[in-house]
Amino acid sequence: MKKIAVILIVASIMMGCSSTHYLNKGMYDKAVEKSVKKLKKKPSSAKEINVLKDAYAIANQKDNDQIEYLRKTGQPDIWDEIFNFYRSLKYREDKVKVLPGNILSAINYKYINYDEEIIAAKLKAATFFYAHAMDLLKKKDKNSARQAYDDLLRVKGYYNDFKDVDNQIQIALFLGTTNVLFKIQNQTGIPFHPNFEEELLKISLTDMNSKWINFDAKQNTGLDYDYNIYLNIKLISVSPEQVNTNNWFETKEVADGWQYVYDSRGNVMKDSLGNDLKVAKTKTISCKVSETVLNKESIISGYIDFYNNVTKQLIKTEPITVQTPFVNVFTQANGDFDALKPETLQKVKNSQPIPFPNDIDMIFQANAMMKDIAKSIIYNHKYIFN
């Protein structure tokens, strides 16, 4: 029973993929393809000849009916569809015409040269898309320019060198691109360090560019900027240098030779063998430990404004703060190092004092971090410019 069930399932699958199945489902090109493939192996199959005859005729009739309907509409945008229908007719014909002559006669095959219709439809489609793109570009708005760009790519798909299509594609790209300028504004009330703004403007935004969005940190005089991103610096501060030292002593009892044991009369005591009694002697050793913590911090804070230059509106404001702390902890010891705990000795060996960085260096460290954080904020708000 199991074998019979398996055979039935396999047979069902094979029937489901047959040319007859495709024909009954209205998948005429699939039926043609399947029949042609089988007839190449078995040219005498009457069943496949009949399927091919019906599928080929119906598929051709449907394409020709669509072409006739489109022509009757008189619309200017029909030629891309007509071009594709003629290509389908030619592709189908090319598949079938390789069969033996007796099969071609049986399916009433008649060769039709579609080349002129294909060439004519191709030219009219390219001409329509080019003209439509030119009309869109005249509107001078970004959405229209982007639609024009798509139309021009379709033109180029038909003819690589149609008129000045490459030049018009560049124009569409230019008109369709949203240009964004990143600027620094000093609101601290004091002048920036000479290189401070220059360093901030080295922010890397070009890797966020896309086909329709261009970021600049340096103004291009040949562009009209649709948006400005203002990094407003409100505060640049460096804290005083702070030094905090904690002192303590560590002690340990250690061996310090030996000494005799005396009785109450001051005589050296003897053991059972008559030897002098001795005991170990200890002493306390100590070491002074000083742990020093150096602290200093630079802060840059402000906010980022996203401003629409076209509507003259402030779209979004995001706060931004950067803190760059300097912390140096070092441990020193004075005395007998043998008195130190293992962990304390390790600190003494592995730490050393580092001088405080100067204020300018700390500000520029914060500057570098500010660029990274600002870039992250801009990236998270990139949707504004779509």
Q: What is the pLDDT of residues 38-79, one digit of tens each?
A: 999 998 888 999 999 999 999 999 999 999 999 999 999 999
- How far apart, in whole angstroms, are the C-alpha atoms of residue 230 and residue 254? 69
CB contact at 8 A, 246 and 290 = yes
Secondary structure (DSSP) of 27-40: -HHHHHHHHHHHHH
Amino acid (1-letter code) at residue 173: L
Q: Say what the pLDDT of residue 13 is.
A: 47
Amino acid present at 273 = L
Work out the angle at residue 104's Cα, subtended by the Cα atoms of residues 101 and 109, and round it to the nearest 5 degrees: 135
Supply 198's token pair: 């220059």
Contact (Cβ atoms closer than 8 angstroms) between residue 384 and residue 316: yes
In terms of Cα–Cα distance, which of 207, 236, 203 is closest to 217?
203
Q: What is the pTM of this model?
A: 0.76
Strands 242-260 and 227-238 turn out to be unpaired
**Share above pLDDT 90 across residues of the chain, in percent, rounded to a whole number:** 84
Give the number of other Cβ atoms within 10 Å of residue 385's Cβ: 22
Measure Cα distances from 1 to 11, 144, 362 in Å: 15, 67, 84
pLDDT digits (tens, 9 = 90+) for 210-247: 999 999 999 999 899 999 999 999 999 999 999 999 99
| 164 phi/psi in degrees, rounded to 5 | -110, 45
What mean pLDDT do residues 369-379 have?
96
Token pair 């560019």 is found at 209
Which residues are CB-neighbours of 128 under 8 A, at least 6 positions away? 76, 77, 79, 80
